[in-house]
């Protein structure tokens, strides 16, 4: 049986499925968008180190409680397009592992065989927690056993110092269910009181979700306060927490504020913007300010390192190529650009 694309395989197996990016943020990719990527009609939207890091969730109709997951890394070319060879090879491995039983539920032995191929990977624990929380909510499954304790803690019932026994999965569940159990208000009320460890864990869970304007505003206040107090890590994580919110104008204003603060000399801040808020850099004045500031750090080395990642993002590639070719670039930018070709 000739099967060349992952979506074709799943459709012929009569499976329902969902695709998620797990590279930068945990984000669902629509079937039509993924099909266009498979056919090389468009680049992969969220490349990470020239890889498409995806999670494939699939199940037989009527068996949503019995779903299967593949975590896959598929290589991309310099334009962000899926390389055809590895994609075809993975499909061959799948067909070999499953034989002709394309409409049967994979056995444990078949699942194990499928897992042992060069395209699978193990997600980081925080990403896995976010992913589990999202699919449980979307498939109308209950939250984890850690949810209730985290809910009680964030609502102020346990005392802010009693956090050591709380599970990361519980915070991921809270972030995925901000529209339930008054969770959003509890998070907003708790933010000023959270110990650093809890604050950082919660921010890492929030960055994958479309936060409301009210929650973004609360995080911006915290980020500015943490930056003023010299707590760079918390200030950066508060910015990252807003990364998936549709309130892009507020987030971009915070990025500009950080650019005019002591954070502008911290390379970790630039890495965070590139890793989580790269889409905000499509705003021309923000891109200019960001690149010029990065070019002045470490004699242009910070910009050169970030450029490799930024230029791989489909929406930023033409803007960056235009910028480094501009005859009006500053001396610092000219020096940074020279490092790219040295």
Residue with tokens 């918390």: 234
The pLDDT of residue 64 is 61
Residues near 71 by beta carbon (within 8 Å), at least 6 away in sequence: 22, 53, 54, 55, 120, 121, 122, 123
Each residue's pLDDT tens digit, 14-28: 888 999 999 999 999
Inter-residue contact 87 to 76 (CB < 8 Å)? no
pLDDT band with cut points at 50, 70 and 90 for residue 157: very high
DSSP 245: -
Residues near 146 by beta carbon (within 8 Å), at least 6 away in sequence: 166, 167, 168, 169, 170, 173
Determine if residue 139 is left, alpha or beta; phi over 0 gives left, psi from -120 to 50 gives alpha, anything else beta.
alpha
Residue extents of the structural domains in the chain: 6-115, 145-340
% of residues, the chain, pLDDT over 90: 74
* Cα atoms found within 13 Å of the Cα of residue 194, Cβ hemisphere only: 24
Burial of 225-240, coded b for 16+ CB within 10 Å and e otherwise, reads ebbeeebbbbbbbbbb
Instruction: Give dist(CA 58, CA 67) in Å, integer.
Output: 6
Each residue's pLDDT tens digit, 174-207: 999 999 999 999 999 999 999 999 999 999 999 9
- Mean pLDDT of the 209-228 span: 98
User: Range with the lowest mean pLDDT among 84-98, 146-160, 294-308?
Assistant: 84-98
User: Range with the lowest mean pLDDT among 96-105, 165-174, 225-234, 292-301?
Assistant: 96-105
What are 300's two structure tokens?
């242009």
% of residues, the chain, pLDDT over 70: 96
Inter-residue contact 23 to 46 (CB < 8 Å)? yes
Residue 263 has pLDDT above 70, yes or no: yes
Each residue's pLDDT tens digit, 104-148: 666 777 777 777 788 999 999 999 999 999 999 999 899 999 999
pTM: 0.92
- Using CA atoms, how far residue 178 sits from 62, 192, 223, 269, 282, in Å, is 28, 18, 20, 27, 29
pLDDT band with cut points at 50, 70 and 90 for residue 210: very high
- Mean pLDDT of the 274-284 span: 96
Instruction: Give dist(CA 329, CA 307) in Å, integer.
Output: 15
- Using CA atoms, how far residue 99 sits from 11, 67, 68, 111, in Å, is 16, 20, 18, 12
Give the N- to C-terminal CA distance of the chain in Å, as an integer. 49
Instruction: Give dist(CA 135, CA 289) in Å, integer.
Output: 38
Residues near 86 by beta carbon (within 8 Å), at least 6 away in sequence: 74, 75, 119
The pLDDT of residue 228 is 96
């Amino acid at each position: 049986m000739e099967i060349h694309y992952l979506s074709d395989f799943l459709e012929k197996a009569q499976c329902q499925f969902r695709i998620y990016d797990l590279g930068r943020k945990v984000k669902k990719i629509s079937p039509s968008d993924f099909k266009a990527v498979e056919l090389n009609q468009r680049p992969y939207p969220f490349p990470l180190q020239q890889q498409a890091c995806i999670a494939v969730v699939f199940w037989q109709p009527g068996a949503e409680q019995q779903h299967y997951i593949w975590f896959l890394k598929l290589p991309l070319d310099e334009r962000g397009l899926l390389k055809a060879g590895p994609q075809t090879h993975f499909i061959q491995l799948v067909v070999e592992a499953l034989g002709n039983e394309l409409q049967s539920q994979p056995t444990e032995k078949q699942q194990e065989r499928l897992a042992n191929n060069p395209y699978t990977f193990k997600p980081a624990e925080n990403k896995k927690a976010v992913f589990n929380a999202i699919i449980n909510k979307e498939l109308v499954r209950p939250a984890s056993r850690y949810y209730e304790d985290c809910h009680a803690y964030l609502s102020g019932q346990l005392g802010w110092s009693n956090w050591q026994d709380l599970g990361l999965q519980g915070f991921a569940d809270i972030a995925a269910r901000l529209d339930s159990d008054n969770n959003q208000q509890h998070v907003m009320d708790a933010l000023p009181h959270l110990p650093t460890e809890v604050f950082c864990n919660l921010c890492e869970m929030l960055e994958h979700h479309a936060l409301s304007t009210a929650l973004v505003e609360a995080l911006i206040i915290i980020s500015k306060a943490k930056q003023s107090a010299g707590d760079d890590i918390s200030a950066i994580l508060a910015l990252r927490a807003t990364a998936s919110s549709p309130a892009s104008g507020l987030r971009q204003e915070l990025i500009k504020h950080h650019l005019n603060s002591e954070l502008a000399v911290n390379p970790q801040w630039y890495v965070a913007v590139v890793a989580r808020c790269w889409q905000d850099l499509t705003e021309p004045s923000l891109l200019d300010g960001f690149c010029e500031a990065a070019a002045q750090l470490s004699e242009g080395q910070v910009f050169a390192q970030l450029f490799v990642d930024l230029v791989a993002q489909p929406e930023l590639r033409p803007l960056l190529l235009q910028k480094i070719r501009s005859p009006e670039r500053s001396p610092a930018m000219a020096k940074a650009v020279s490092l790219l070709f040295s």
